[in-house]
Amino acid sequence: MKKVRPTKKQIMAFSLLLSLAVAPFASVFGIYDSMASSPFSSKDMSCGPWGITQNSNSTVSGIQGLFVVDFTFGSMPFPLAKLIDIIWDLVVGRGVQMLAWWVSYVVFTDALFRAIERHPAPYRSFTNISLEGPSLASIGTLIADLRKHRSKRTVWLFVFMVISSLYVLSLPTLLSAMTGYVGSSVPYVSLKGSQQMVSVNDFVYSNIILDGSQLGLQNGSCVHIDIINSWDNFCFPRRDTCNCSAPDGQKMSYYQFIQDYPTLSEDQCIFNYTNNTQMFYNAFEAKNESCDANFTIAIDNKVYTLSYLNATKGYCYNNTGYPYAYVQENSICMPDTNHPTYEWGFSTMLSAVVVILQFIWGLAMYAVWLDAQWNSTLVKAGYKMTQLRAALTLSTAAQETLGLELEEMLKVRKNELERNLLSERAEVNFKMFGTELPFAAVEAHEGT
């Protein structure tokens, strides 16, 4: 790095680098780093209000994950989802490409000045770069003229221009491919002992009492969600404070029991053992309770007293409990035909790839631009390429190549004129710029 005083142009270039390359890269991968996940991991296709994963072919991995729209939002009709996608393609896709084309034109023309200070540039390559910038025609021309350059450094510069032009031209396609809309779907669950499939929307999130017999219920019966919440409010603070008795009579904390007796079930840690005088504070109920107290539960106007409740959260249908694992293993995602809606969003994997490419492209373009700013005498003198200046330069180069005046060139047949100008000897020389004031006194940084 050279110690140079930053100019408005350099500040603007660095700001563009930060906003177009560094900021998207840092934002995307900063989010994934905070989530301790990777955008390149396998994608689990899920659906429904509880994010149930489809059991059959639900995981997408490898290159197929590039086209999975897995970060979606909204619930909208098809016309709105399609409109959002079109607006994205037109405004973002084409807008970013236009900005990238302008950046490329400035960088390429400045780098071209730097290159012709070493050796003359082929007339055809100079024409396409200075008049068109990144385009299909310029890519073909740059590839065809690679063998005409007289130094490896210049060859690699033009190879970079080819790769960069390909990226700029593909930007709308990449940005369009990383977004999309998907139809809403819901999981349908196969009921126990039946071939019937029921939408998960018909299930109720509730408690499942696995040992319902102690409450006069069938094992696996459903009860209101508040019951297990009350049990948790009672159980957790008691576990944190009170000692329990192991089957061999040893007294210890609940967590010590779990560690010392890993093969025993937690209900074998007895809190209401004889002479247990400990107390604990039930913060949820805002009261002190005895460690040997039993929990009371009311179901259908009947009060039950129990010391242990084997219950879990799950889903209920017709008073039959379905644990989450069962729903997960016996469900399949199907289109929601009753309420068809669409979600719009991104493919996280392809978005990450585009962000990485943009980051690399931005850094490379900035490095090539800085090289021209620091080392090209013509650029340092303030010369800036425009399409009008390019036309005047090409006219001067054509006159020198053909040895004709402008009026004479206009009379030459088109095919003959192009054949002569695109021949091996047609070049744009650095010395041609010495005829245009105020740059007549500028000398090449390296001999031409």
Answer left, alpha or beta for residue 220, where phi above 0 means left and psi between -120 and 50 means alpha: left
**Residue 447's pLDDT is what?**
46
Tokens for 214? 């102690």
Q: How far is Cα 189 from Cα 187, in angstroms, rounded to an integer?
A: 6
What pLDDT sits at residue 51? Answer: 60
Q: What is the pLDDT of residue 94?
A: 94
**Number of helices and strands in the chain (H, E):** 15, 22
Checking if the pLDDT of 135 tops 80, the result is: yes
- Per-residue confidence at 168, pLDDT binned at 50, 70, 90? very high
The answer for residues whose C-beta is within 8 angstroms of residue 122's C-beta and 6 or more apart is 145, 148, 149, 426, 427, 428
Q: pLDDT (tens digit, 9 = 90+) per residue, 21-55?
A: 999 999 888 888 777 678 787 777 667 666 665 55
* Sequence ranges of the domains in the chain: 8-37+69-181+344-435, 187-337
The one-character DSSP state at 272 is S
| Percent of the chain at pLDDT exceeding 90 | 21
Evaluate whether 370 touches 17 at the Cβ level (below 8 Å): no
| H or E element, residue 117 | none
State which H helix or E strand residue 360 sits in: helix 348-375
Distance of CA 400 to the CA centre of its chain: 53
**How far is the C-alpha of 217 from the C-alpha of 1, rounded, in Å?**
79
The β-bridge relationship of strands 279-282 and 287-290 is: antiparallel
Measured N-to-C along each axis, helices 152-177 and 136-144 cross at an angle, to the nearest 10 degrees, of 150
Q: What is the pLDDT of residue 437?
A: 34
Which residue bears the tokens 């970013």? 96
